């Protein structure tokens, strides 16, 4: 059984110049333990697909099954619960909360769960150590480099131990050396069993992934296995 | 890390905005507290000072009833001095009225010059003290060759207790000064009734009789019995003060409602702009699994924190404000105490307004589409 099943998903947006087809009937299956790269031109629908998989963006048509759960059959509040336990997001612009320290940012996903402060702190420290930031825990995001902020974002995504990581151009704003470090980190997380779907423009990154899927005009172009 | 910590941290970084919001809340709360406090203190004072005085009745010479403007004494009219009634009527009324007459005080009011100023002299007996339980005399009730001064009179004439002053060729000593009453009594000079009758040569005569009865029926009974005099029911100064207090209370309520409304709008707009500024942040929270109710909680936590602080500080400020302005409210000695009930009510009210005002912004925040908020790039 596949972990992620995207079945004939469409997504239309109504913009000023009429309807835009962001996804035109996408079928995609991702097995547990995969490390998948989504490539494609700008505007081809990669981010849209990622957000649809991430239970954040209800599609116009089609189905998304994750762990056999029909994600968009859930109510909006239940879907939030689902995101909390299944999905870890890593955004391109890091999207850290600027007024919280590094360790606090990592603890944010835990704030709505039943952990006491000590447990939260232990979990946050553990993942910060994993991403190599255990000695910068008390800093604010703007006191970190881009690569370090990306690591905080990754720590935040995995602190809750979700089975799936969705990353949208995580290396897009980093220099190639820093980007490579981040890719290695993703690779090691994947080796620990995490399923990763990553949008990337950078062909250099492909040597770290197990499978690549290309998109064009809201459709999957090839599905090389 | 709890939602409350997130709320606190966010408040900490938005210090300036929050400071101004707090200032607004504090000001509003302080205004409401001081108005409410003054009203309560006034009512309390009324109750303590005017218990069981009964209905006030004036007995005057028949033709004089029209000019009597303020419980029997018209300062600007002249002919009260000429017309008088026999003092004996007071005695008769008391006998006739019996238990129904709770206090009765005959008075002789005449003009005289003191220190070249035309003053109104009121001859009174000790019975007057029963009618005026709110009187506080610094010194003694006047005896032979003594006078008691109203508060303003004492200031105007620059006289204090033990000073001597000539009236109609005789030397009188100031035996006491009356505390400010907020009535025409502040302008008067009081003298013993018997002395007044001697000095003004009005043996056994009085200008009018003031009495209080505890039964409305008694007034009509008196009217049909004593036909040679005019008997009118007047508003005692307790009713008059009650009216002042009632009017002030209405004013206080009106202002408070306005302030509450303005406070509501200030909190509402601040919270709305805060939600707008935090659109992206809210989207991140939602992406990380926060439910709508968690977002609502964060926003409302902030509202509660701000309005609690505003309520507490505003309460303290309000009481201090009253202490500061109370010397200027002459008619009442407003003494406002630190009342835990008022404090608690204030904080609860502040929190309620804060919550209500933030309800819509919180709803807006919860409704934000997380995907719109973050816009993956
Ligand atoms: N909220 C929206 N409203 C209207 N149109 C949208 C919206 N979001 C995306 N689109 C459109 O949908 C299409 C797919 O957008 P998407 O962001 O998925 O592309 P992408 O492959 O991630 O591009 P990029 O590489 O530039 O990030 C684009 O044409 C875009 O303009
Ligand atoms: Mg994109």
The answer, yes or no, to whether any atom of ligand 1 lies below 6 A from the CB of A13, is yes
Q: Determine, for residues B288 and A54 on separate chains, whether the beta-carbon distance falls below 8 Å.
A: no
Mean of the pLDDT values across residues B276-288?
Answer: 92
* Residue B43: per-residue pLDDT: 80
Higher pLDDT, B243 or A192: A192
Q: List the domain boundaries for chain B.
A: 2-48+241-376, 55-213
Q: Determine, for residues B376 and A51 on separate chains, whether the beta-carbon distance falls below 8 Å.
A: yes
* Residue B235: per-residue pLDDT: 65
Q: Which residues of A touch B (CB under 8 A)?
A: 47-48, 50-51, 54, 56-57, 76-77, 80-81, 83-85, 87, 89, 91-93, 95, 97-100, 104, 107-112, 117, 120, 156, 160, 168-169, 172
Burial (CB count within 10 angstroms: exposed 0-12, middle 13-18, buried 19+), residue B355: middle
Q: Per-residue DSSP letters for A14-51? A: EETTEEEEEEEEEEEEE-TT-EEEEEE-TTSSHHHHHH
* Residue B310: per-residue pLDDT: 96
User: A26 alpha carbon to ligand 1 midpoint, in Å?
Assistant: 15
> B237-277 and B279-287 are packed helices; what angle lies between their axes, rounded to 10 degrees?
70
User: Mind listing the pLDDT tens digit for each residue in B47-86?
Assistant: 665 555 677 888 888 764 444 454 545 544 555 566 888 9
For residue B284, list chain A residues with Cβ-Cβ distance below 8 A.
Answer: 91, 95, 97
Tokens of B289: 């699994």
Residue A51 has its nearest CB partner, among B289, B293, B371, at: B371
| Residue B337 predicted with pLDDT over 80 | no
Please identify every stretch of chain A with a pLDDT value under 50, giving residue numbers as ranges. 224-225
Banded model confidence at residue B377, pLDDT cuts 50, 70, 90: very low
What is the CATH classification number for the domain harbouring A74? Answer: 3.40.50.300
Banded model confidence at residue B218, pLDDT cuts 50, 70, 90: confident
**Total number of domains in chain A:** 1
| Residue B336 predicted with pLDDT over 80 | no
CA distance A65 to A3: 8
Higher pLDDT, B354 or A221: B354
Q: Determine, for residues B1 and A117 on separate chains, whether the beta-carbon distance falls below 8 Å.
A: yes
CA dist list (Å): B344 to B21, B348, B354: 21, 6, 15
Average pLDDT, chain A: 93
Protein residue with least CA distance to atom 5, ligand 1: A13
| Structural domain boundaries enclosing A52 | 2-224
User: Mind listing the pLDDT tens digit for each residue in B167-214?
Assistant: 988 999 999 999 887 778 889 999 999 999 999 998 999 988 998 888
User: Mind listing the pLDDT tens digit for each residue in B99-155?
Assistant: 888 889 999 998 888 988 888 999 999 988 888 877 889 999 999 999 999 999 999
Identify the CA nearest to B28 among candidates B185, B195, B212, B258.
B258
User: B83 alpha carbon to ligand 1 midpoint, in Å?
Assistant: 101
CA distance A162 to B21: 40
* Residue B372: per-residue pLDDT: 79
| Cβ-proximal residues to B314 (8 Å cutoff; 6+ apart), any chain | B25, B26, B27, B28, B29, B30, B32, B33, B346, B350
* Residue B17: per-residue pLDDT: 87
Mean of the pLDDT values across residues B290-302?
Answer: 95
Average pLDDT, chain B: 86
CA distance A134 to A5: 36
What pTM value is reported for the model? 0.74
The answer, yes or no, to whether any atom of ligand 1 lies below 6 A from the CB of A38, is no
Q: What percent of chain B has pLDDT over 70?
A: 88
* Residue B51: per-residue pLDDT: 52
């Amino acid at each position: 059984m596949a972990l992620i099943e995207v079945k004939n998903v469409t997504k239309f947006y109504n913009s000023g110049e009429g309807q835009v087809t962001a996804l035109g009937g996408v079928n995609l299956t991702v097995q547990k333990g995969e490390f998948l790269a989504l490539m494609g031109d700008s505007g081809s629908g990669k981010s849209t697909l990622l957000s649809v998989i991430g239970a954040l963006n209800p599609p116009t048509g089609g189905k998304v099954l994750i762990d056999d759960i029909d994600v968009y059959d859930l109510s909006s509040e239940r879907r939030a619960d689902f995101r909390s336990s299944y999905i870890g997001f890593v955004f391109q612009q890091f999207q850290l909360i600027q007024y919280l320290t590094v360790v606090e940012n990592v603890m944010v996903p835990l704030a709505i769960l039943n952990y006491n402060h000590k447990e939260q702190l232990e979990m946050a420290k553990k993942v910060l150590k994993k991403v190599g930031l255990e000695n910068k825990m008390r800093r604010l995001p703007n006191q970190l480099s881009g690569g370090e902020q990306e690591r905080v974002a990754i720590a935040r995504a995995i602190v809750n131990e979700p089975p799936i990581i969705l990353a949208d151009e995580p290396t897009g704003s980093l220099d190639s050396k820093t980007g490579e470090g981040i890719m290695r980190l993703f690779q090691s997380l994947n080796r620990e069993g995490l399923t990763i779907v990553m949008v990337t423009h950078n062909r250099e990154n492909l040597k770290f992934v197990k499978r690549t899927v290309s998109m064009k005009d809201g459709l999957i172009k090839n599905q090389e296995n | 890390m709890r939602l409350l910590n997130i709320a606190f941290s966010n408040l900490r970084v938005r210090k300036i905005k929050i400071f101004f919001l707090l200032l607004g809340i504090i000001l509003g709360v302080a205004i409401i507290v001081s108005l409410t406090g003054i009203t309560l203190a006034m009512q309390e004072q009324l109750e303590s000072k005017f218990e069981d005085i009964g209905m006030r009745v004036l007995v005057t010479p028949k033709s004089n009833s029209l000019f009597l403007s303020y419980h029997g004494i018209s300062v600007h009219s002249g002919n009260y001095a000429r017309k008088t009634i026999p003092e004996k009527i007071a005695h008769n009324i008391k006998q006739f009225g019996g238990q129904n007459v709770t206090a009765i005080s005959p008075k002789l009011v005449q003009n005289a010059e003191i220190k070249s100023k035309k003053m109104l002299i009121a001859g009174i007996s000790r019975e007057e003290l029963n009618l005026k339980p709110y009187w506080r005399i610094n010194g003694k009730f006047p005896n032979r060759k003594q006078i008691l001064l109203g508060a303003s009179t004492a200031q105007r004439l620059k006289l204090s207790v033990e000073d001597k002053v000539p009236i109609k060729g005789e030397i009188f000593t100031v035996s006491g000064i009356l505390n400010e009453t907020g009535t025409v009594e502040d302008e008067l000079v009081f003298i013993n009734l018997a002395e007044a009758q001697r000095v003004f040569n009005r043996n056994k005569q009085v200008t009018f009789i003031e009495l209080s009865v505890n039964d409305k029926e008694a007034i009509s009974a008196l009217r049909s019995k004593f036909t040679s005099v005019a008997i009118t029911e007047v508003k005692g100064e307790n009713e008059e003060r009650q009216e002042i207090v009632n009017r002030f209370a209405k004013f206080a309520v009106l202002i408070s409602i306005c302030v509450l409304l303005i406070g509501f709008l200030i909190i509402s707009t601040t919270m709305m702009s805060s939600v707008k500024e935090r659109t992206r942040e809210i989207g991140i929270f939602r992406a990380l699994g926060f439910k709508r109710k968690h977002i609502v909680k964060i926003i409302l936590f902030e509202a509660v924190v701000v309005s609690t602080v505003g309520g507490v500080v505003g309460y303290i400020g309000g009481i201090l404000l009253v202490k500061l302005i109370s010397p200027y409210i002459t008619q009442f000695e407003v003494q406002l105490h630190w009342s835990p009930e008022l404090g608690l009510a204030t904080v609860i009210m502040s929190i309620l307004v804060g919550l209500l005002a933030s309800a819509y912004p919180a709803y807006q925040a919860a409704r934000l589409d997380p995907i719109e908020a973050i816009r993956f790039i």
